[in-house]
Amino acid sequence: MGAKALTRDIKQLKLVANAVRQSIIRSLAEAKSGHSAGSLGFADVFTALYFGIAKHDPRNPDWADRDRIVLSHGHVVPVRYAAMAEAGYFPKEELMTLRKLNTRLHGHPHNEALPGLESSAGPLGQGVSIAVGMALTAKLDQKNHFVYLLTSDGESNEGQVWEAYMFAAKNKLDHLIAILDRNYIQIDGNTENVMPLEPLAEKFRAFNMHVLEMDGNDMKQVMDALEKARKLKGKPTMIIANTIPGKGVSFMEKNYLWHGKAPNPEEAEKALAELNAEKTRLENEG
């Protein structure tokens, strides 16, 4: 089997991202727990990967030539589930089982529960090392697929991630493309108050990585950055995606209190109304 058909149509990708955000709200409201802000903020990146950039096949999740998508900060997995359901990995109705007993959709990804998940996650930092290991394996086996690592700014408090990045640079793992969700929030507040990370781009350059920066909620910038990253050679790439936590839902945006909180029924209704209004606006764009 071959790769899923992808698109470069920015309007279509924006509409898919809107559908992903609506699924996130519905699944979290049904679960009555989970992480809203980061999931909504990273919806454009996941949409670009699953519908615009990455080689994958929902009918054959273990396709040997697929690109690997590794989610390290697993608490935002609702966005991955929503994107995967939209892409056809499983029925969208199953999203309503998020975090429930006997579900395949755990609160953090479990790769043995659902086809198409490359790795489990929970302890922060470990996914970075897993992705680096996958990239090294691809290089040793002379494979051409990419490993897309999805990570976060709060996760970068962990020492393990920096060891992994040093290893990736030492081994010139240019098929590793990391995308860091720079939304400035973690469970205890603003990242720069909890554990300052700046100057972040300079740190990654000092670790001998290509560094790109983009607005992670601007679909054209996301697509352009991912396409550029695929052409860079000689060392791994870090894309810093500046995002708005809670993107698309006005009362969640930039509010760290939504980091680990799900909407109640009234809040979900309000959020879906805003997202439906945005969907109508997008459909009417020229």
CATH classification at residue 110: 3.40.50.970
pLDDT digits (tens, 9 = 90+) for 260-276: 999 999 999 999 999 99
Tokens of 32: 């009555």
The confidence score (pLDDT) of residue 3 equals 67
What distance in Å separates the CA atoms of residue 199 and residue 209, rounded to the nearest whole number?
Answer: 15
Residue numbers of the domain that contains 188:
10-283
Return the half-sphere exposure (C-beta side, CA atoms, 13 A cut-off) of residue 23. Answer: 27
- Residues of the chain under the 50 pLDDT cut: 1
- Dihedral (C-alpha) 135, 240, 183, 149: value to the nearest 10 degrees? -10
Is 124 among the domain residues?
Answer: yes
What DSSP character marks residue 21?
H
Quick one: pLDDT at residue 5? 79
Residue 226 CA: distances (Å) to CA of 54, 141, 222, 230, 231: 9, 24, 6, 6, 9
Kindly state whether residue 2 falls inside one of the protein's structural domains. no
What pLDDT, on the 0 to 100 scale, is given for residue 2? 54
Residue 202 lies in a domain: yes
**Does residue 4 lie in a domain region?**
no
Answer yes or no: is 150 within a domain. Answer: yes
Number of domains in the chain: 1
> Is there a domain that residue 182 lies in?
yes
For every residue of 92-126, DSSP letters joined together read GGGGGGTT-TT-SS-SS--TTTSTT------STTH
**Residue 31 tokens, joined:** 């679960």
Q: Fill in the amino acid letter for 102.
A: N
Q: What pLDDT score does 91 carry?
A: 97
Beta-carbon contacts of 56 under 8 Å, excluding residues fewer than 6 positions away, are 3, 4, 50, 63, 66, 67, 69, 87, 116
Residue 15 lies in a domain: yes
Whole-Å CA distances, 100 to 28, 75, 130, 139, 189: 11, 15, 27, 39, 28
Nearest-angstrom CA–CA distance, 228 and 206: 20
Position 1 in a domain: no
Model pTM score: 0.96
* Closest by Cα among 51, 45, 128, 141 to 88: 51
